[in-house]
Amino acid sequence: MSFTSNVKNEVSKLQVDKIASITLLSAIFKNAAIIGDNIKVSTENPSVARLIFNLVKELYDISSKITVRQGYNYKKNYIYILEINKKTKEIIADLSLDTNIPADYILSDDELVRIYLSGVFLTTGSINDPKKSRYHLEFFISDYDYANFIKDLLNQYSLNSKIIKRESKYMIYVKEAEKIGDFLRMINAINSLFYFEDIRIYRDHKNMTNRLNNCEQANVDKIIATCNEQIKDINLINSIGGLNLLDEKEQIAATYRLKYPETSLLELSEIISMETGNKITKSGLYHRFRKIKDLASKIKQEEK
């Protein structure tokens, strides 16, 4: 079962009072097909279909006609189609379906706005499983003005939603993991939120570990490259018997570099300090190798 299905299952089983039920059904039917005296809504989620049936029964004492058919997509999920052909004028008026933007009483307080967005998600929304892909919450809506209205509702909660046209519909989307978590919290999908946050924390930790490992590897590669350059310089000087051109401190640095070819400057300075009894800092050792490099450069110029 997909993550979207799990979220819809959880949301569709939440208990709401009569006023909230009107708001929820308004959002669901706003994204249904309304033709004349017929309201038709379809869903692939049986829990959502059951919710719609129960809401219509409780609010209007009507039993919706339910048709089940196999979908045409590659997964061939079952599609549940609910049709209402009684009291449709009353339903349309009650649920404010005859206007593009719902009446104020549908969204009269913050709780009802959240309920409304839950209903929009149940019929038009989906969320990528955080375990399998990038973070992505989206809604597909047919009408441009209504899509902008939903985008603005989402952004009242600072979700940074955006809208683009996809074929004949408009997609409202949220890509930030933190904002998607806020949306799940907002629609009271708490179990789904816990799953989402667990995966998000794990992925963030894994990404941070990978970045640290990559950074550490880059540092190791840099250290090895530096060591190799220093050894080349020392060997070049030694090949012409020029080590005696170095002072005693530089000769010690050269000797220890050849003895410990893969140690960092910090490690090498600690080794020299411990074995010779003369403290040398990383900075001091760096300057000794600079002088060795300068001498090697002069030898290379003379050879040319």
Cβ atoms of residues 142 and 208 within 8 Å: no
Give the CA count within 13 Å in the CB-facing half-sphere of 48.
28
Provide, rounded to the nearest whole percent, the portion of the chain with pLDDT above 70.
Answer: 97
Q: Which CATH architecture has domain 3-188?
A: Roll (3.10)
3-state secondary structure of 67: strand
Q: Apex CA 98: angle with CA 97 and CA 101, to 5°?
A: 70
CA distance 11 to 45: 12
Residue 113 pLDDT > 70, yes or no?
yes
- For 49-93, the pLDDT digits (tens) are 999 999 999 999 999 898 888 766 556 678 899 999 899 899 999
166, 131, 171, 142: which is closest to 154 by C-alpha? 171
Q: What is the pLDDT, as a whole number, of residue 182?
A: 94
* pLDDT for res 76: 64
The pLDDT of residue 168: 87
Q: 3-state DSSP: the chain helix, strand, coil percent, rounded to 5?
A: 60, 15, 25
Domain ranges of the chain: 3-188, 209-303
- Which pLDDT belongs to residue 277? 87
